[in-house]
Structure 1
Amino acid sequence: MRSGNAKTVLPAVAMTGVSMVLTLAVVVMWLGKSMPWPVALVVGLGIDGGWLATLAYERRLAAQGDRSTPVTIVGWFFGLIATGVLVAHAAGEESPGAWLAVAWLPLAAKALWLVHSLWERTALTPGALGSIRSIQQEARDEAAVARARLHAEAATEETRLAAVTQAGARVARVQAKTAQTLSRAWSTLETARDGEDTARALTCVTRGVTPGVTPAWELPVWGPVEPVPTLALEPGPALSDGELDRLVDAIRTSETPALSYREMAMRFRAAGHSASEVRLRAAWKRVA
């Protein structure tokens, strides 16, 4: 008997045996007062025997994967009879509490057999249980690996952000230091430009070279720089066929001997004129 099967069948067997013994004892004590005890013993054994027979039949059907509603009803009927006998005996006693405390045992035994039958319907073989455990373990392993990957990626991203932040802070410090140095240098130049000694020194130096000219020293503007817009060549107006022919003929015959088509095309576009290759070649064929 497998361990899982024993966990459900042994309590049911034990409670069934206790219930049968109690039922037989109560019937013999209760009916023995009004009839011979062998007759009372036969009545008690009849109740227990009917209960045991229906239980055996139910177990046989369960082993075959089948069940019978009439047999189940008969089994519960014998369980109710046993319970009724115990309750009736307890009602006639002076202290019925002890007997009423065990009157539920027959119904409890039937309930345990019901639990055991349900366990058998859902029981799995060791191979199936092993497969289920393997699948569950594989799922746990995959979840653990995924968690570890996420934690590693989070730590890597945190390290990268910290490095980028530190590099940005270093760049900001260098820029601030450079701006401070430039500001001090600019202030020094501004002070030198505005000083009287500077003007006097420049006058002394340039007096012999440019007499009557007062030197001026202007610093470049320290401020935002506006970008110079790029120059874009806008295409000129489209040439008519007549104008195109005259230009092509003039460029071709500008030298002696006349220019080739390639040289003419290069000079045509270098002069700023615009025309498609198809129109230009057609004009060349018309004038050549």
Structure 2
Amino acid sequence: MTVVSMVLTLAVVVMWLGASMPWQVALVVGIGLDGGWLATLAYERRLAAQGDHSTVVTAVGWSFGIVATCVLIAHALGEESPGAWLAVAWLPLAAKALWLVHGMWERTALTPAALDAIRSIQQEARDGAAVARARLRAEAVTEETRLVAVTEAGARVARVQAKTAERLSGAWSALEAARRGDGTAEALTCVTERVTPASQPRWDLPVWGPVESAAVLEAAPVLSDDDLDRIVRDLFASETPPPSYRELSARFRAAGHSAGETRLRAAWRRVTTQAGAA
């Protein structure tokens, strides 16, 4: 009965619209109407097979049946002999009513306890699916936010590194230009003639390369102030003229002694003060 109703509806739609548009378009419109009704019936049957029911789906199915009946009645009223078309105009509603009776029979085949259990299980499944979808969406948004933040931070770091490299390159170029200048050697010789031989009046830029790790010194005993003053006094009196603090500090550490820079400088001041007073 449903198939016959669809065929009649499709034929009426094609006859109606075929006069105002190509019959292919009218055929598509009729198939669309029948396809919507068939899809609604199929979905309603699927719900019924699961022991479920949807009022909205049922209402949509009845709407399609009413539209098909109205189409057949309107076409019958426009014909010279409407009896034949009116005789089949009730088929869509009758087909829908038969589907309704069949669904009611299927529901009566189950006990109320079974129907309640089926509804509870289906509701739990829907709730679980909704919670899972919400969790996945939240995780996706969180991951997207994290990726955006990491990307922006990486871009900022890259820009800072590029600017730093550009400035370092400019400074290095300036140093190289100064080293290769005509008056650089003479100026450095005048300023640093105490440490720069006159035969080699040039200087080189520092070279970046692998760094050799210095040997780890064994832990030396902590020196008292008296011992520290004695060692500094001996180093101070070992040369003439007396060494500077920087030279004395180098010899002090080369000898294997260990002391903080503050304590060593304080001992240096005490020894030099005593030597000046003497």
Could you tell me the TM-score, scaled by structure 2's length? 0.39
Structure with the greater alpha carbon radius of gyration: 1
Q: Which has the higher contact order (CA 8 A, sep 6+)?
A: 1
